[in-house]
């Protein structure tokens, strides 16, 4: 499947799911919104579940690629700040993404929970690398569970982005990023 078609399906799914969630969507609606034939969806994904699973992976791959691109040898907190900004920029571009991830990741039992758990781990591993750098520099408090801290940072980025989009859309991305960094910079002073 061409990248442009996959992106159109991803964006169509995000637009439609913003008001109803994923469960209520039909393949017909997604295909129509994306401007592709319904058969294209079934041919490439087999089912709606296959489409959603693939699109969740596609979205996380896009985000993970952007987060990896933000990694440099610079000061770890500056890299984390770039990653927070990258996440906020991504969510501003795809506003329904954090809503889907937040609602589906913690819904029990979620239809796409297993896929999202794997994808969550991918994102967390990128964030975790910077926390390890802080720890190696002796800048984290003793006994900090880096895995838990990385999950907390991932959750913070998703929930703050969702809160920004839904409740505080007039705030600038820089303002939201700086507010998150107040919390994170406190962590790195250990």
Model confidence band, residue 190 (pLDDT cutoffs 50, 70, 90): very low
- Rounded to whole angstroms, how far apart are CA atoms 148 and 19? 31
**E strand or H helix at 175:** helix 173-187
- Rounded to whole angstroms, how far apart are CA atoms 121 and 139? 24
Structure tokens at 57: 């992976």
Extract long-range pairs of 163-171: CB within 8 Å, 24+ residues apart.
164/88, 164/91, 165/91, 165/92, 165/95, 165/98, 165/99, 166/99
Q: What is the pLDDT of residue 145?
A: 94
* Range scoring the smallest mean pLDDT among 6-10, 73-77, 142-146, 178-182: 6-10
What is the tens place of the pLDDT at every residue in 25-83? 889 999 999 999 999 888 888 888 888 888 888 888 889 999 999 999 999 999 999 99
Answer yes or no: is pLDDT of 4 > 60. Answer: yes
Answer yes or no: is pLDDT of 141 > 90. Answer: no
Domains and CATH numbers, the chain: 53-187 (1.10.357.10)
**For 111-124, what is the mean pLDDT?**
82
Answer yes or no: is pLDDT of 13 > 70. Answer: yes
Which runs of E-coded beta strand occur in the chain? Answer: none
Q: What 3-state class would DSSP assign to 35?
A: coil
Residue 183 makes CB contacts below 8 A (sequence gap 6+) with 156
> By CB neighbour count within 10 A (0-12 exposed, 13-18 middle, 19+ buried), where does 172 fall?
exposed
């Amino acid at each position: 499947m061409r990248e442009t078609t996959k992106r159109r399906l991803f964006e169509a799914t995000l637009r439609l799911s913003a008001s109803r969630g994923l469960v209520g969507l039909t393949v017909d609606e997604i295909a129509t919104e994306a401007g592709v034939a319904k058969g294209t969806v079934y041919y490439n994904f087999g089912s709606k579940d296959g489409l959603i699973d693939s699109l969740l992976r596609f979205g996380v791959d896009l985000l993970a690629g952007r987060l990896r691109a933000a990694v440099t040898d610079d000061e770890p907190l500056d890299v984390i700040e770039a990653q927070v900004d990258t996440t906020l920029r991504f969510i501003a571009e795809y506003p329904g993404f954090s809503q889907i991830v937040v609602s589906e990741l913690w819904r029990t039992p979620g239809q796409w929970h297993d896929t999202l758990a794997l994808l969550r781990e991918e994102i967390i591993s990128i964030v975790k690398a910077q926390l390890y750098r802080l720890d190696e520099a002796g800048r984290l408090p003793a006994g900090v569970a880096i895995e838990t801290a990385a999950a907390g940072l991932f959750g913070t980025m998703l929930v703050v982005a969702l809160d920004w989009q839904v409740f505080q859309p007039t705030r600038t991305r820089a303002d939201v990023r700086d507010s998150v960094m107040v919390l994170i910079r406190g962590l790195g002073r250990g």
